[in-house]
Amino acid sequence: MNNSKHFNVTIRVWRQSGPDEQGRMVPYEVKDISPDMSFLEMIDVLNENLIKKNEQPITVESDCREGICGCCGLVVNGEVHGPDEHSTVCQLHMRRFKDGDIITVEPWRVRSFPIIKDLAVDRSALDRIIQAGGYISVNTGAAPDANSIPVNKDNAEEAMDSAACIGCGACVAACPNGAAMLFTGAKISQLALLPQGEPEKQTRALNMVAAMDCEKFGNCSNEYECEAVCPKDIKVSNIARMNREFMLANLFSKH
């Protein structure tokens, strides 16, 4: 751990100019790094140096830099989102490294997340799963009207925990099978637990699971890697709920 002095690191970055191009690891030395920099700020410094040399900067997707948008998904030294537990790459700080370290940075390695360029991948498959779930037909109106619908406290809290998923894809990247079941389970759970989600409960489960399968994600084999790397600590109990909702929907749809 480095807590005070500026230091130098070598970054081994996956460079790939396009989805159909061949990629390779390229080393870069980044000097005079402050331990207070975030990991993405360090990438900014590296990109500024590359631009000054008339070289192509590293493409990395990032937006909020506050751990709430899920854009900054990277594999750092073989760890999804880096070494810090339940956090995103933008929340990772350079104090976690020391002078002379060689840091390997890769994109999500998942068939369903094709590489766009360098470290940026196409995670629109997750958007299509959400779209398959459709909308709720309950008209909740403005906030006071919505709050007038009684909701069991435990269900409300569990639904809120499920809704905390930011769709970063870390669960998929960490899963040895490339499964999106924690993500899909969380999105199904957040409405299955609430009365507003009751009318479309069955069709939502069927359609979202079908969309997940269509995107060629793998299946869960209870490795629990997904929960371990989730920046919002989404629990695998959501996968159990998704399976239950899916089986019940299949059962009742046949009658």
Query: Angle, nearest 10°, between helix axes 201-214 and 237-253?
Result: 110
Q: Tokens representing 203?
A: 């069709």
Q: Give the torsion through C-alpha atoms of 236, 237, 239, 244, to 10 deg.
A: 170
pLDDT value for 253: 76
Rounded CA-CA distance 127/99 in Å is 40
User: Is 7-117 a CATH 3.90.580.10 domain?
Assistant: no
3-state helix, strand, coil in the chain (%, to 5): 40, 15, 45
Per-residue pLDDT of the chain (255 residues; tens, 9 = 90+): 545 699 999 999 999 999 999 999 999 999 999 999 999 999 999 999 999 999 999 999 988 989 999 899 999 999 999 999 999 999 999 999 999 999 999 999 999 999 999 999 999 999 999 999 998 888 777 777 667 788 899 999 999 999 999 999 999 999 999 999 999 999 999 999 999 899 999 999 999 999 999 999 999 999 999 999 999 999 999 999 999 999 999 998 765
Max CA separation in the chain (angstroms): 69
**CATH class held by domain 124-253:** mainly alpha
pLDDT for 10 equals 98
Quote the pLDDT of residue 149: 80
Ranges in the chain annotated CATH 1.10.1060.10: 124-253
Q: Own/partner pairs for 222-227, CB < 8 Å, 24+ apart?
A: 223/175, 223/176, 223/177, 225/171, 225/174, 225/175, 225/176, 226/170, 226/171, 226/172, 226/174, 226/175, 226/179, 226/181, 226/182, 227/171, 227/182
Name the token pair of 76.
Answer: 């750092």
Residue ranges of the chain that CATH labels 3.10.20.30: 7-117
Q: Rounded to an integer, what distance in angstroms lies between the CA atom of residue 214 and that of residue 109?
A: 19
Collapse the DSSP code of 75 into the 3-class scheme (helix H, G, I; strand E, B; otherwise coil) and give the result: strand
Question: pTM of the entire structure?
Answer: 0.92
What is the amino acid identity at position 159? A
Phi and psi based region of residue 167 (left: phi greater than 0; alpha: psi -120 to 50; beta: remaining): left
